[in-house]
């Protein structure tokens, strides 16, 4: 699932030395998300991961494990929520598992409850996936 939203609270202009690419903004957003997800009873990995496109927050909620990739694409922040596959699924490129609706509601609740976030939009095709 893909979500877009707006916020001026997070860094979008000053690259930091630890960025993999010059536009890998979102480390502050990802760290904020770790804190907020924990407040909403998700079991969150304590550190964020960096990808070329952005920052990964890993969390477990209601028996399933998820990755949330956060990236900045002016003027929007973009979040990609995916359910993690097990080791066998990753090794053999198994089909991606569907995101449970509870996880979508969790992310939506975190974003919607903050005054830092506005214009939240979820994106999916007619089949319900992105």
Residues 14-27: what's their mean pLDDT? 70
pLDDT for residue 93 is more than 70: no
Look up the pTM and report it.
Answer: 0.84
Each domain of the chain, given as residue ranges in start order, spans 2-123
The partner residues of 43 in beta bridges, in order of sequence, read: 60
Q: What percent of the chain has pLDDT over 90?
A: 65
Task: Using alpha carbons, select from 20, 84, 7 the residue that is nearest to residue 55.
Answer: 20
- Residue 129 has what pLDDT? 47
| Cβ neighbours of residue 13 closer than 8 Å, sequence gap 6 or more | none
Cα gap 119→107, rounded to integer Å: 14
pLDDT-based confidence at residue 130 (cuts at 50, 70, 90)? very low
3-class DSSP string for 22-82: CCCCCHHHHHHHHHHHHHCCCEECCCCEECCCCEEEEEEECCEEEEEEEEEECCEEEEEEE
In this structure, are residues 81 and 128 in contact, taking their beta carbons and an 8 Å threshold?
no
Average pLDDT, integer, range 100-129: 89
User: Which of 33-37, 49-53, 61-65, 90-94 is predicted with the least confidence, judged by mean pLDDT?
Assistant: 90-94
């Amino acid at each position: 699932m893909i979500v877009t939203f707006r916020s001026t609270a997070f860094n979008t202009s000053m690259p930091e030395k630890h960025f993999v690419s010059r536009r890998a903004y979102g480390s502050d957003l990802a760290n904020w998300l770790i804190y907020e997800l924990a407040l909403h009873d998700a079991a969150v990995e304590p550190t964020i991961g960096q990808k070329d496109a952005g920052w990964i927050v890993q969390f477990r909620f209601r028996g399933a494990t998820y990755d949330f990739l956060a990236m900045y694409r002016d003027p929007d922040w973009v979040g990609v929520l995916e359910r993690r596959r097990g080791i066998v699924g990753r090794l053999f490129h198994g089909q991606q598992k569907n995101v449970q609706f509870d996880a979508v509601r969790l992310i939506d609740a975190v974003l919607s409850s903050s005054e830092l976030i506005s214009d939240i939009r979820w994106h999916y095709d007619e089949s319900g996936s992105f």
